[in-house]
A = this chain, B = another copy of it.
Amino acid sequence: MVLANVPLTIIIALIAGVISIIVAIIFSLIVFREDPGNERMVEVSKYIEDGAKKFLFVQYRILSIFVLILFLIILLFLPSELTGGKVPILIRPFNGDALNWRQAIAYLIGSIASMFAGYLGMMVGVKANTRASFGCTKSLDKGFDVAFFGGAVMGLAVVGFALIGISGIFWIFKTPNVVLGFSFGASTIALFMKCGGGIYTKTADVGADLVGKAEYHLPEDDVRNPATIADNVGDNVGDIAGMGSDLFDSYVASILAAMILGYVLMAGATDAVRGTFVIYPIVISAVGLIASLIGILLIKWLKTKDPGKLLNTGTYIATALFAALGALFVWVLIKTTPGLTAAEIKQLWYDYICVVVGLLSGILIGWTSDWFTRDDKKPTRDIAHAAQEGDAVVILSGFSYGMLSVVPPAIGIAIAMAISYYLDKVYGIAMAAVGMLAIVGTIVSNDAYGPIVDNARAIAEQGGLGEEVIRTADKLDSAGNTAKAITKGFAIGAANLAVFALLFSFVEDAGIPLEIDLLNINVLIGAFLGVVVPVLFSSLLILSVQRNAAKMVDEIRDQFESNPKILEGTEPPNFKRTIEIATKGALRELVLPSIISIAMPLLIGILFGVAALGAFLAGAILSGFVFAIFMSNAGGAWDNAKKWIEDGNLGGKGTNVHKAAITGDTVGDPFKDTAGPSINTLLVVMVLTATIFLGLLILINNGAGLLAFIAG
C-alpha cells in the first residue's frame, strides 16, 4: 500500500513527538538545576532513588527475558500473512511481505520505548521530589514549579515516545498491523509495571501504616518507620512509572485501533483516501500533544494561590485548544488529500465530532469521579460520617458509593458510543477513544505531579524542614489529589473506550465474517468466562499485596523489637531490608496475573473459537470497567474521607472516628492503587494478545475452535 500523503502529516507528528521529547529534556534540566536541599534530604532522596532504580533494574532484567520469548514466539509461530493464514506456523522464509518479523521488531521497539519512558519519568521524579521539597522552603510557587516540571517530563515523554514510535514504524513499514506489534510491546510492559509497581507500592504503604502508624503511633513519613522509604519508592515505581506506562499503553492502543479500522474499512477507497483515514488518529493525537504542550507551558505563566485549580485549568486549556486546533488540522488534512468525495469529507468532519464527543465525555466521567471522591460532596462526607459508627460502616458506605459511582460513567460511555457509532460506525467509536486520550500528555503530567509532591512532603518531614514547609508541601499534595480525581476517572473511561475500539478492530482484523451472537453457546460461555477474569485478576493482586504486606509487617516489628534505638531515633532503621521485601515480593507475585492475561485469551480462542474470544473480551471489558471504576472511586473516597477527618473534622486525628477512617483508607489503598488501575492494562493486553495471535486462531477449525462441536 502506498500512501500518497503520508510523509507530510506523519512528519508533523514525528516533529511534534521530537519537540515533546526536547521539551521534556529541557524540563529535566530545569529540575536538575534546582537545589536538592540539606544533607539529610539528599540522603533520603538517594535512598528513594536507589530503591526505585533497584526495583526497575531487577524488573527490567526479568522483563527482558519475557520480551525476548514473546519476540521469538511472534517471529516463529505467527503466520506470515495475517488473514487467511496460508502458511501454517513455524519457520518459513523471511520475505519482505511477511508480517511476523516486522511485528516482532515493532514489538521489541514498543517494549523498549515503554520501558524507557517509564525509566525517564521515574528518574526525573526521584530527582524532583527533594528539589520540590526544598523549593517549598522558598515559596509555594517554587515548590509547585519543580514538582510540575518533574511531572510534565513523564507526560511529555509518554506522548513523545508513543507518537515517534507509531509514526516512525508506520512510515517505515506502511501497515497498521505492524504498529500492532509496537502496541503489544507497550502493553505487556505496562502490565508488568502496573501490577509490579502496584503490588510494591501498597506492600510498603500498608506495611508502613499497619505497624508504624497504627501500632507505634508514628506520624506519616516518620523517618523511624523502616517502611517509609519503601513507601516513597513505591510512589515512584507504582504511581509514576506504572501509571505512565499504563497510559502509554492505552494511548497507543487507541491510535492503533483507529488505524486498523481505517485501513480495513476504507479498503474500497483510493490509496490516498485510505491513507488519510489511517493517519487521521495520528494527526489528532499530534494535535492533542501540541495542545497539551501549550497548556503545560501556559501553566508556568498562570500563577494562583490554588495549585489544584491551576492543574485543572491546564486540563481545560488543553481541551479547548485541542478542540480548536483539531478543526484546523482536519481542514488541512482534507485539503491535502487528493480525490476525497463529498461523502468522505463529510465523514471526516463527522469523525472530528466523534473526537470532540470522546473528549467531552472523558471530562464528564472525570467530573463524576471527582464528585464521588471529593471531600466537600455527599458521598465522601457520608463515608466520613459513617466512620462515626465504626469500621464496618465506613467500609459498607465506601463500598456502596463505589458501586454507585459506576453508573454515571457507564451511561456516559454508552452515550458516547451511541453518538459516535451513529456518526461513523466503529471507526467513529475508535476516533472518540482517540479524542478522549488525545490530551493524555496533560493527564499524565498532572498525575505524575502527585507522587512527586507526596515524596516532597515526606522528605520535608524527614529532612527536618519544619512545620511551615510541611504545611506548604501539604498544600501541594492536596492539589495533587484534586487533579488526580479527575485524571483517574478520565484514564479509566478512556482506556475503556480504547479497548472497545480495539475489540472492534480485532473483529475487523479477523477477516472472516464474524458474529458474536450470545445465543451461540460457545460465545455465551466465552462471555461468561470473560466476565470472571477481571474478578480473578483483582483478587490475585489484592491477595498478593496482603501476603507481602504481612511479610513487611513482620520485618518492621522485628526491626523495632530487635533494636530499640530505631524508635528512639538514634539509629536509622534498615531501609534496605524493607525495600528488598517489597521488590522481591512484587516481582514474584506479578507472575500469575501476567500469565493469566496472556494465556486466557489464547485458551478461549483455541477451545471455543474467535467469536467466543470476542465475547470473552467483551465480557472482560464490561466487568473490568465495573470493577476498575468501583475500586478506584471507593478507594479515592475513603482516602479523602480520612483526610477530611484529619483536617480536624468530626473530632480529627487520634479519635475513634479517625481510626475507622484509616481502616477505610487502608482497604482502599490496594483497591485504588493496585487492582483498580491494573485492570485497564489487563484488558488492553488481552485484546492485543487476541489480535496478534488471531492469524493462528483462525487456523483452528476455521476460527471456530477445538470445541466447535458443542455449538453444533
Contacts and interface: CB of A to CB of B under 8 A. Distances in A.
Oligomeric state, in copies: 2
A539 B404 contact: yes
Contacts of A407: 532, 535-536
17 contacts: A206-B393, A210-B389, A210-B393, A214-B390, A392-B663, A392-B667, A395-B667, A401-B543, A411-B529, A413-B528, A429-B521, A515-B515, A517-B518, A518-B518, A518-B614, A535-B630, A622-B622
B393 A549 contact: yes
A490 interface: no
Interface string A520-540: 010011011101100110111
Given A393-B546, A524-B618, 8 more contacts: A396-B545, A400-B539, A403-B536, A411-B529, A414-B529, A422-B712, A514-B519, A531-B531
Contacts of A662: 392
A656 to B, nearest CB: 11
Contact of A417 (B524, B546, B622): B524
A300 B519 CA distance: 46
Contacts of A538: 400, 403
A418 interface: yes
Interface string A556-585: 000000000000000000000000000000
Contacts of A545: 396
A427 interface: no
Contact of A542 (B399, B615, B623): B399
A710 interface: yes
Nearest to A669: B392
Contacts of A395: 395, 663, 667
Contacts of A514: 519
A125 interface: no
Nearest to A533: B407
Interface string A622-640: 1101100010000000000
Contacts of A390: 210, 214, 663, 666
Contacts of A524: 417, 500, 618
Interface in A599-628: 614-615, 618-619, 622-623, 625-626
Contacts of A399: 539, 542, 667
Interface in A384-399: 386, 389-393, 395-397, 399
Contacts of A414: 525, 528-529
Nearest to A409: B532
Given A210-B389, A393-B210, A667-B396, A401 B519 contact: no
The 3 closest A-B pairs by CB, nearest first: A392-B666, A403-B539, A516-B518
A707 interface: yes
Contacts of A528: 410, 413-414, 417, 622, 625
Contact of A517 (B413, B517, B630, B670): B517
Interface residues of A, number: 79
A217 interface: no
Contacts of A712: 422, 425
B618 A532 contact: no
A587 interface: no
A507 interface: yes
Nearest to A545: B396
Interface of A: 206, 210, 214, 386, 389-393, 395-397, 399-404, 406-407, 410-411, 413-414, 417-418, 421-422, 425, 429, 500, 504, 507, 514-519, 521, 524-525, 527-529, 531-532, 535-536, 538-540, 542-543, 545-546, 549-550, 553, 614-615, 618-619, 622-623, 625-626, 630, 662-664, 666-667, 670, 707, 709-712
B386 A421 contact: no
A521 B393 contact: no
Contact of A418 (B519, B521, B543, B667): B521
B521 A421 contact: yes
A93 B403 CA distance: 47
Nearest to A614: B518
B542 A400 contact: yes
A351 to B, nearest CB: 16
Contacts of A516: 517-519
A666 B550 CA distance: 23
Contacts of A543: 397, 400-401, 404
B417 A525 contact: yes
Contacts of A411: 529
A273 to B, nearest CB: 21
A615 B399 CA distance: 27
A667 B401 CA distance: 14
Contact of A531 (B403, B521, B626, B711): B626
Nearest to A392: B666
A498 to B, nearest CB: 15
Contacts of A553: 389
A396 B542 contact: yes
Given A519-B515, A521-B417, A525-B414, A626 B535 contact: yes
A662 B622 CA distance: 34
Contact of A422 (B401, B546, B710): B710
A414 B529 CA distance: 8
A402 B539 CA distance: 8
Nearest to A536: B407
Contacts of A429: 521
Nearest to A664: B392
Contact of A389 (B410, B421, B532, B550): B550
Contacts of A630: 535
A531 B206 CA distance: 32
* Most central of A210, A399, A518, A525 by chain B CB within 10 Å: A518
B392 A622 contact: no
A553 B404 CA distance: 24
B421 A710 contact: yes
B393 A391 contact: no
Given A393-B549, A518-B518, A711-B421, A529 B623 contact: no
A391 B389 contact: no
B393 A536 contact: no
A535 B403 contact: yes
A527 B531 CA distance: 12
Contact of A529 (B206, B410, B540): B410
A381 to B, nearest CB: 14
A392 B422 CA distance: 47
A550 B389 CA distance: 8
A403 B400 CA distance: 16
* Most central of A418, A535, A625, A709 by chain B CB within 10 Å: A535
